[in-house]
Homo-oligomer: A and B are copies of this chain.
């Protein structure tokens, strides 16, 4: 007498995706209590089981649900926020400022629901997430009924959900404690990346993961720059460095691993770390080509992930799996590399193993959870179907099928989609809420983009340093009289410096925005060597508040920030209309003249070749004080032997911009 089961799926092209790539055509699956009870030939299972629900799959493919091995689901709300930018500009110029402003439990909840809808529709049953407020990711995912490894982010910077790393580590521990035995959610801790964490954070998160026997999810060796910096700072590449911080004591899921060598692959394999390969993200952000074929040859479990939808810009695993196969072929120059059946295995069983939940999901085998999808390959863009090659069906799924061919999705024995209709979540209303976030973020960015100052403030570290500055400047033919005058008793020298300065000025269509100056200050010592270099970014207000007699200026306020990024970063971030480069040699004295403190700069402008200038400057805080100082500055210039008619009102950048080309 046939045994009773909950569900029997019949008449399928059944791909178990087990290690032997066992197939049945026609095949059937018996599901009982959320688990797979049996897979096999259609006739055998029809004879052995009687089911509450018998589903005739009508020749569709039945296979394990896809495993998205690395993503940041709430970032679905930031899809298309900024594209075609470098990683640092994209991340630090757009993503992080917007995240600081908008990421909240509500944001995370909504973003997760949107992502779940998109993933269910495209055949994903399980994903590995890493974000802030991960508890809210877990709640939303559980409500929808998907399976996930949810990883609470920890890093050395303040995050939207924690002011310090200790706080986020505590959050992570509480989160893990609460979700440890959940049937759908595997909680996990995510030290974000070696370069955003301290050694202490890496050690602490690893210890936490070991304590609760949960996965540790992180980004490793995503860019060549990361590896270079690791070598510079730690004397070794990324994998040995994190190994030294004990992270491989834990069950590691490492995203990206683009720039790793054979020794590092061996280390990952030796410690049974899983790897999430992210083809679209690595291409779109130009991170490079991960050595996927070598990792597979070494026996590593390599899954495939979409990365966050803000850098992809979707959650389409069909596209990722196809790309994984395409890229492996192109990079190796070998079209037989990473054939379809291996690519599909990476998107299913290998992915589940990379997440350290291969015992739960990733293939259709008795005892595993019933996480499966139906794919309709009868539509025109999948046809015709050839059967002479046993691997043909895998090639069809990888090279021809689209995510929109997925018709039905089951997780843990429960249907989440039947015949393309979602069951556990209503899509209505989600898009309107997403639109409202987009509207607010747009307004924030439009406001910011209108003002160079807001953009400077957005990337952090800018300070308003000098309220006003009186400045008198004159062109001189010969510096010798100045140097002589400085020896006289009327001037008391408090301090002196010698600089070589390389200034790049950004100017904008709207001249009222002022200039952004990127300055490289070389400190020259007595022997003429460079003793130190300082990089500073300054926003110089273009308009002058006042102009005194003899071109003594009262400048507008300035904002100065340490230039922690490269000139290239600022160029791409501020998008100037014009750039002007000025190189000069500067002797600088801080002096007392008639009891008032002045700076005297003796400049030789070498590029463009403008010759010698002397500048007299003083800070001021009131208009009355400015008037007094302007008079004194004019006197000091005269004392230095500079005729008044030689003074100039323009900044160097303005003089340079007025130069004829090549002049």
Contacts and interface: CB of A to CB of B under 8 A. Distances in A.
A283 interface: yes
Contacts of A330: 282-283, 286-289
B288 A381 contact: no
B81 A380 contact: no
Interface stretch (A32-40, A262-270, A438-446, A633-641): A438-446
A83 interface: yes
Interface in A372-403: 378, 380-381, 383-389, 391-392, 395-396, 399-400, 402-403
A204 interface: no
Interface stretch (A61-69, A333-341, A598-606): A333-341
Contact of A80 (B396, B403, B427): B396
A316 to B, nearest CB: 7
A319 interface: yes
A77 interface: yes
Given A286-B337, A384-B437, A391 B84 contact: yes
Interface stretch (A229-237, A407-415, A428-436, A550-558): A428-436
Interface string A312-330: 1111100100010111011
Interface string A291-334: 00000000000000000000011111001000101110110111
A286 B332 contact: yes
Interface residues of A, number: 77
Interface centre among A83, A288, A325 (most CB of B within 10 A): A83
A284 interface: yes
A388 B288 contact: no
A74 to B, nearest CB: 13
A399 B435 contact: no
B329 A388 contact: no
Nearest to A339: B84
A475 B405 CA distance: 65
Given A384-B437, A435-B384, A445-B388, A286 B334 contact: yes
Contact of A284 (B314, B335, B431, B438): B335
A288 B333 CA distance: 7
Given A381-B314, A434-B383, A80 B388 contact: no
Contacts of A85: 335-336
A449 interface: yes
A60 to B, nearest CB: 15
A404 interface: yes
A377 B313 CA distance: 13
A455 interface: no
A424 B26 CA distance: 36
A117 B286 contact: no
A603 to B, nearest CB: 35
Contacts of A384: 77, 79-80, 431, 434-435, 437-438
Given A118-B380, A283-B330, A388-B449, A395 B438 contact: no
B336 A381 contact: no
A285 B83 CA distance: 29
Nearest to A83: B395
Contact of A280 (B326, B337, B435, B449): B326
A386 B438 contact: yes
A86 interface: yes
B286 A335 contact: yes
Given A82-B389, A323-B323, 9 more contacts: A80-B384, A80-B395, A80-B400, A84-B391, A283-B330, A312-B399, A316-B381, A384-B438, A388-B445
8 contacts: A84-B339, A86-B336, A114-B380, A283-B327, A284-B335, A319-B319, A336-B572, A385-B438
Task: Identify the 9 closest CB pairs spanning chains A and B, nearest first.
Answer: A384-B438, A84-B339, A283-B326, A83-B395, A313-B399, A286-B335, A388-B445, A283-B330, A384-B434
